[in-house]
Amino acid sequence: MPYAESLGFAYHQILVVIAGAVCLFGTWVGMRHFARARATAGSTRLGWLFMASVVTGVALWASTFISILALDPMLKSGFEPVATSLVLLIAIVSCLAGFQIGSRPFPALAPELGGLVMGVGILAMHFVGLHAWHVEGTIQWNVYGLVLTLLLGLSLSALSVNRANRPVTRYCRHGAAIVLAFMICAMHYALTASATTMPDPSLDLPGYLIPAHMLCFAVVGAVLLVMGSGFSSYVIDLRTRTESAERIHQLSFNDTMTGLPNRIAFNERLSFDISDAHEKGQKLAAFSIDLDGFKDINDVFGHSAGDLVLIQVAERLRNAVGEGEFVARQNGDEFLALKMSSNHPADAQAFAEKLGTILSEPFKVSDTDVKLTASIGYSVFPLDTRERDHLVSNAKLAMHRGKAHQAGNICRYDRDMDDAARARRALARDLLSATKNGQLELHYQLQTLLRDGTVCGAEALMRWRHPVRGMISPAEFIPLAEETEAIVEMGEWALRTACRAAAEGKLPGMIAVNVSPLQFNHGDLAETIKGILAETGLHPSRLEIEVTESMLMSNQSRCLEILGKLKTMGVPIAMDDFGTGYSSLGTLHAFPFDKIKLDQSFVRRVPDDLLAAAIVKTVLALGRSMNVPVLAEGIETEDQLQFLIKEGCIEGQGYLFAKPVPLAQIPDAMAKMLQRVAAKTATVQQTDAQVAAA
Ligand code: C2E
Ligand code: MG
Ligand code: MG
């Protein structure tokens, strides 16, 4: 047998190694549990603390007695049952107290304090353990050895709990277990080294002692308990981690409201499908799907009804996809899809049509059937692009292009769209600095009283003189300026410039200025206009603000509030382009407009187009009944003018009288209008004279 003499005792070396290993494993499992306790709170934390203490305590108990048993062969011995059990109790309680104190946030040295408590407990355990050990002989203790044992025990256990509580790396937990195991072994050997035994065969051991071999069974049981606890905590840990990983995966890859895959999942699938298509020589089509008029559902029925529609849309899309197809929700009312085929673009077109059809079926919203359409754009890999990101942006571009043309369109990407989009972006960039660079101009179109041709005012119309492209029409740059919000600064410039020209007497009568919806949403437009009128000295009654119906629909309460302020200031308000939007009587009733501007699309078609003529008559009758003068826009011919005069239209503007011109040409334009009136009067007089002569 491999025994070793050490001072007063001989050791069974293998048992000593086993004692160290049990201690190490037990404390490692204990530290694992303790780390879980630190990461949780409330009763879960207490549960883990208890488990940590039981496992560590049992391991300490077992290792203590294994190392005592290692001494057994040289001496006949036995173990006192109560003290032996007490050792286990002390071990568990001191670990519980040590862990509990050590894991508290206060005081600052709580971890070290907890370690000391454990150290005291472990020392007590050893003293009681040795007390429980009855040998056939006598034991004498060395005081210095005992003090050394005490110091070793306390400092090493403090260090151990310190490592467990203030981990710098994830290995600190193992460090703590190693320190604790080392401390127990070192302390135990320091303690036994402080003792000297005198074998005395004349001493009889009491009969109630637990024989060494019986204790072996208890120790083996304890070791199995520790191992079982370690194993089950490992299994629980593994399962919890897998479950949470799956849940995180589910959450981060699925849109929570519709349950459809989200943008992240779409990107992953796209990368996979692209390499698959590449490998198999297939084609991949990406689709961008946008619901038309979805905002109206939110506005009319509320957001929860909107959510229900989105859930129904997702359900239909999910049911529509088959093998090699994939749908995802991008955000809001935008969806994405993929389809693999060797027969693209024909298959892509067919798939888009299928999606368009299933989404055009009515949706149930609060017991009402609501019809929606979807605008769909698509692009095909590798026909249109070989870049993953371009495939989706191409599809979106195509969708927007189709939608701009008509809601519910299906549109395939083509390269010209890219060029147009690039040019548009460049123009939008240039527009941001157009006001500052003095590239904006105002042209003025004179307005007239139709009966006698008197000039009654002018409309200010913005022009952009681009350094490269030359003069650009407002029909092209105003929507762009609204997208980039540059219109706010531009509109203010137009107001100031027009008011100044009118105040300086360079324009006759009223000056009408168009205002964009965005100007209503930024700052206080009424205050801005007030400031401009004060600055230029123009009387409020000479400025006329032109608003469109769609603007009022976009943010009615705010618009009406600002218009009300302007009206109080004495600024007249005109409803521009009447007849092109919703043309609702409600809008006319919502606000007391000072003028209705009849859109040129109707004026252009009178008198021959009977429907247009009927509309013009109705609007004129409406104006009369509401006591609001109507101005007809876009009068180009004498026939149109005569029709309008006959139907009682008061004012007009159009190329027949004057085209929009720069300020410097206004006197000429006015002179021409006077000549026209004079010529007309002369013709009328001549005709009258001829009639009289006849
Ligand atoms: P609008 O306010 O309805 O202006 C009338 C448009 O009709 C002007 O086009 C004018 O040149 C054109 N027009 C006038 N008489 C005739 C005619 O007899 N025949 C034809 N075919 N057209 C005629 P323009 O200057 O191209 O302006 C287009 C639109 O751009 C304006 O429509 C207005 O909505 C917007 N706009 C122009 N200037 C501004 C501005 O300073 N601010 C804002 N927010 N919008 C502006
Ligand atoms: Mg206008
Ligand atoms: Mg107009």
CA distance 528 to 518: 14
> Could you say which of 205, 240, 275 is where a domain stops?
240
Please give the residue that has the higher pLDDT: either 182 or 361: 361
Q: Are residues 322 and 357 in the same domain?
A: yes
Q: Range of 272's domain?
A: 263-413
Q: Is 636 in the pocket of ligand 1 (CB under 6 A)?
A: yes
19 Cα–ligand 1 center, Å: 96
Please check whether residue 434 lies inside any domain of the structure: no
**What own/partner pairs with CB < 8 Å and gap ≥ 24 does 627-632 have?**
628/588, 628/593, 628/594, 628/595, 628/596, 629/594, 629/595, 629/596, 630/595, 630/596, 630/597, 630/598, 631/447, 631/574, 631/595, 631/596, 631/597, 631/598, 632/450, 632/598, 632/600, 632/603
Parallel/antiparallel/unpaired status of strands 543-548 and 510-514:
parallel
Element housing 365 (H / E): strand 363-365
Pocket mutation for ligand 1, best pick of 497, 514, 595 (most atoms within 8 Å of C-beta): 514
Kindly indicate the confidence band of residue 2, based on its pLDDT and cuts at 50, 70 and 90.
very low
* Cα 457 to middle of ligand 3, angstroms: 15
DSSP state of 374: E
Which ligand 1 atom sits nearest the alpha carbon of residue 478? Answer: 45
- Residue 357 confidence (pLDDT) above 90: yes
Q: Could you identify the atom of ligand 1 that is nearest to the CA of residue 473?
A: 26
Flag whether 693 is in a domain. no
Residue 11 has pLDDT above 60, yes or no: no
User: Range with the lowest mean pLDDT among 501-505, 522-526, 676-680?
Assistant: 676-680
By the CB criterion, residues less than 5 angstroms from ion ligand 3 are 576-577, 633
Domains contained in the chain, number = 3
Name the band, by pLDDT with cuts 50, 70 and 90, for residue 399. very high
Residue-level pLDDT at 40:
63
Per-residue pLDDT for 12 more than 80? no
Alpha-carbon distances, residue 116 vs 97, 120, 215 (angstroms): 10, 6, 29
30 falls within a domain: yes
The arithmetic mean of pLDDT across residues 219-248, rounded, is 75
Residue 425 domain-assigned?
Answer: no
**Does residue 165 have a pLDDT over 70?**
no
Sheet strands (E) in 398-509 = 410-412, 440-449, 455-466, 470-472
Instruction: Check if the beta carbon of residue 375 is closer than 8 Å to that of residue 407.
Output: yes
Residue 149 placed within a domain? yes
Secondary structure, 3-state, 420-432:
HHHHHHHHHHHHH
Residue 570 dihedral angles phi and psi, to the nearest 5°:
95, 15
CB 461 less than 6 A from any atom of ligand 1:
yes
Question: What residue owns the CA closest to ligand 1's atom 23?
Answer: 634
Instruction: Copy the structure tokens of residue 17.
Output: 């190694």
How much is the average pLDDT of 74-101? 86
530 CA to centre of ligand 2 in angstroms: 21
Average pLDDT over residues 300-314: 88
Q: What is the pTM of this model?
A: 0.54
Contact yes or no for 490/434 (Cβ under 8 A): yes
Distance between Cα 576 and ligand 2 center (Å):
6
Q: Are 453 and 651 in contact (CB under 8 A)?
A: no
Span from the CA of 661 to the centroid of ligand 1 (angstroms) = 12
For residue 6, is pLDDT > 50?
A: no
Whether 445 lines ligand 1, by a CB cut-off of 6 Å, is: yes
Ligand that comes closest to the CA of residue 598: 3
Residues 164 and 276 in one domain: no
DSSP string, 285-339: EEEEEEEETHHHHHHHH-HHHHHHHHHHHHHHHHHH--TTEEEEEEETTEEEEEE
What band does 3 get if pLDDT is binned at 50, 70 and 90?
very low
Within 8 A by CB and 6+ apart from 464, the residues are 431, 434, 439, 440, 441, 471, 472, 474, 477
- What's the 445 CA to ligand 1 centre distance in angstroms? 9
Give me the chain's average pLDDT, please.
Answer: 84
Question: Which of 37-51, 85-99, 251-265 has the highest average model confidence (pLDDT)?
Answer: 85-99
pLDDT of residue 248 exceeding 60:
no
For residues 220 and 287, state if they share a domain.
Answer: no
Cβ of 576 closer than 6 Å to ligand 1, yes or no, is: yes
Which residue, of 208, 240, 272, is where some domain finishes? 240
Percentage of residues in the chain having pLDDT higher than 70? 90
Distance 530 CA to ligand 1 centre (A): 25
Tokens 């949470």 sit on residue: 244
Residue 25, pLDDT > 60, answer yes
| Average pLDDT for 496-508 | 96
515 plus 649 within the same structural domain: yes
- Report d(CA 158, CA 180) in Å as an integer: 9
Q: Which of 134-138, 424-428, 689-693 has the highest mean pLDDT?
A: 424-428
- The answer as to whether 54 is a domain residue is yes
Report, as an integer, the average pLDDT of 366-377. 87
Could you give the CA distance from residue 404 to residue 483 in angstroms, rounded to a whole number? 14
Q: What angle do CA 589, 594, 598 make, to 5 degrees?
A: 85
Residue (of 261, 286, 263) closest to 273 by Cα position: 286
Residues 583 and 451 in one domain: yes
Q: Is the CB of 652 under 6 A from ligand 1?
A: no
**Do residues 385 and 526 share a domain?**
no
The Cβ-side half-sphere exposure at 240, using a 13 Å CA radius, reads 7
Q: What is the CATH number of the domain that holds 455?
A: 3.20.20.450
Say whether both 495 and 566 belong to one domain. yes
- 629 in ligand 1 pocket by Cβ < 6 Å? no
85 and 18 in a single domain? The answer is yes
- 363 pLDDT higher than 70: yes
Lowest mean pLDDT among 38-52, 72-86, 231-245, 582-596: 231-245
Tabulate helix, strand, coil % of the chain (nearest 5): 60, 20, 20
Q: Best substitution site from 440, 445, 461 to test ligand 1's pocket, by max atoms within 8 Å of Cβ?
A: 461
Same domain? For 366 and 507 the reply is no
492-526 core/surface letters (b: 16 or more CB in 10 A; e: else) = bbbbbbbbbbbbeeebbbbbbbbbbbbbbbeeebb
Residue with CA at minimum distance from ligand 1 atom 3: 577
Across the range 325-345, mean pLDDT stands at 93
What pLDDT, on the 0 to 100 scale, is given for residue 170? Answer: 57
**CA of 652 relative to ligand 1 center, distance in Å:** 14
Residue that finishes a domain, picked among 369, 394, 413: 413
Q: What is the largest CA-CA distance in the chain?
A: 170
Range picked from 30-39, 135-144, 433-442, 550-559 for highest mean pLDDT: 433-442
What was the pLDDT predicted at 615? 85
Do residues 219 and 287 share a domain?
no
Backbone angles phi, psi at 283, to 5 degrees: -120, 150
Q: Are residues 225 and 271 in the same domain?
A: no
CA of 544 to the centre of ligand 1 (A): 15
> Cα dist. 151→6, 24, 120, 194, 587 in Å?
21, 21, 10, 14, 91
* C-beta of 494 in contact with ligand 1 (< 6 A): yes
Residues 6+ apart with CB under 8 A from 477: 427, 431, 464
Give tens-digit pLDDT for 418-465: 888 888 888 888 998 888 889 999 999 999 999 888 999 999 999 999
Partners of 648 in beta bridges: none
Give the mean pLDDT of 361-370.
84
Position in ligand 1 atom list of the atom nearest CA 516: 44
Q: Of all protein residues, whose CA lies closest to atom 19 belonging to ligand 1? A: 634
In a domain, 258, yes or no: no
Mean pLDDT, residues 507-527 taken together:
92
CATH of the domain at 353: 3.30.70.270
Instruction: Give yes or no: residues 276 and 234 share one domain.
Output: no
3-state DSSP call for residue 255? Answer: coil
Query: For residue 5, what pLDDT band results from cuts at 50, 70 and 90?
Result: very low
Q: What is the pLDDT of residue 439?
A: 94
Q: What is the pLDDT of residue 224?
A: 85
Ligand 1 binding pocket includes 660 (Cβ within 6 Å):
yes
Asked if residue 694 belongs to a domain, the reply is: no
pLDDT at position 448: 96
